[in-house]
Structure 1
């Protein structure tokens, strides 16, 4: 890797980072825009042999659009996982505040993290990756029937773990904290 390539890329970055950041910022919150900017230039570095030297900003905007699209897909997968976890555990979906949703997501993620590796993998293939049972069975190296049994058992164990993790008392006032008076 020659020093000239790095210097050229540094110059490209200095010339284009502000318009690319603004492009991203119009579409994302500040922190996410900064993260996406890094991904854009990482991708640009990897594809520098295809760089449009005469018009780099449109080329970088194209990369930014791909980064944004990947982010949308990741958000959709995350939403499907949350819904699948709720469904698997028979957790009712109700409208709640952002704080309650965050606590519920953290609780579900924590319970899922505590599951055995095989249970996590089975649940994630279906919920996160959105695979059908035959494809997921191929990934796990078993028959669809065996995979279905594993999935059923993993869901039951997850449901039980979520029930066991359910807090026994709810916050009812500023003086009560999870069942203890302060």
Structure 2
């Protein structure tokens, strides 16, 4: 175990792992998810790949699922809207109106989980399609199809500059 390598990984990726967790479980629980993710990394450091971010987000995703299952935090559309709202920039920061922001969150919340997660990993987490596919445990082609479907839903509903991104 190389402590310096682990510390470098921690400093380089803690913010992104925490942001990922916050989007799913809220600010308070995101600290626990991030800590658990890096504890897993510490304990299994030899299994962490050279490019650790997709691996860390995949581990965080597992901790998020465990957290949600044990605390039953997500109970439908209202809960998802609240969490997404907490994680998005304010309307003035995003250069968009509050109504557009609300519409964007409603479209995201109404998407199937796989499509929404694919879109958010690429657009908000900044992962490549290959990295996002690794996080979700699917092929890059499958992820690209999910992205296509998610973007088609967005285009069919309303123009939403808040969540558009090119992979």
Alignment TM-score, normalising by the size of structure 1: 0.38
Question: Larger radius of gyration, structure 1 or 2?
Answer: 1
* Larger relative contact order, structure 1 or 2 (CA cutoff 8 Å, min sep 6): 2
